[in-house]
Homo-oligomer: A and B are copies of this chain.
Amino acid sequence: MHRPDPTTDPCSLARGLAEVGDWWSLMIIREAMYGTRRFSDFQQNLGIARNILSDRLNKLVERDILRKVDAGEHGTRFEYRLTDKGRDLFVVLTALRQWADKWVFENEPPLLLVDRASARPVQPLQVLDADGQALKLHQVAIATN
């Protein structure tokens, strides 16, 4: 990927993509959100090659999205857990999930994201203005900070 150096790109979208915008990274993050923590479990649940998994886990740890924790006292078993930064990707993954629910499955998704307490589906995400009004693409602009 010889794209414009993301570490100097002023667009946060590009910077975000550079950190997590990769098939396996996102699948690992999804899996972590489902509760997976161990190398072997990621490997089996995702069917990913071990070297690729190793590489992605290291990168995600580098970027402070996962934390590598010693599990079992002897330094031979580890857990990879989401950091706050990683956990915050929940909104992003939810947005993509909802998009695909709507457009790929045409509103008949086989799996549904629900509120654990009430078992009712979560609301569709919306971009809101400062007064809480939903905004469409053509109603927004990019301003310099």
**Interface, chain A (partner B; CB < 8 A):** 1, 3-4, 10-17, 19-24, 26-27, 30, 33-34, 46-48, 82, 85, 87-105, 108-123, 125-130, 132, 135-145
Contact = CB atoms under 8 A, between A and B. Distances in A.
Nearest to A98: B91
A135 B115 contact: yes
Contacts of A100: 12-13, 15-16, 19
Contacts of A130: 115, 118, 120-123
Given A99-B91, A113-B140, A140-B113, A16 B125 contact: no
Given A17-B26, A21-B21, 12 more contacts: A13-B96, A16-B96, A85-B103, A88-B102, A90-B136, A95-B95, A95-B125, A113-B141, A117-B129, A118-B130, A122-B130, A123-B128
Contact of A88 (B88, B92, B103, B142): B103
A140 B29 CA distance: 16
Contact of A90 (B10, B91, B118, B137): B137
Nearest to A82: B137
Contact of A3 (B4, B23, B92, B98): B23
8 tightest A-B CB contacts, nearest first: A16-B100, A12-B100, A115-B129, A95-B95, A120-B130, A10-B110, A92-B95, A123-B128
Contacts of A116: 138-141
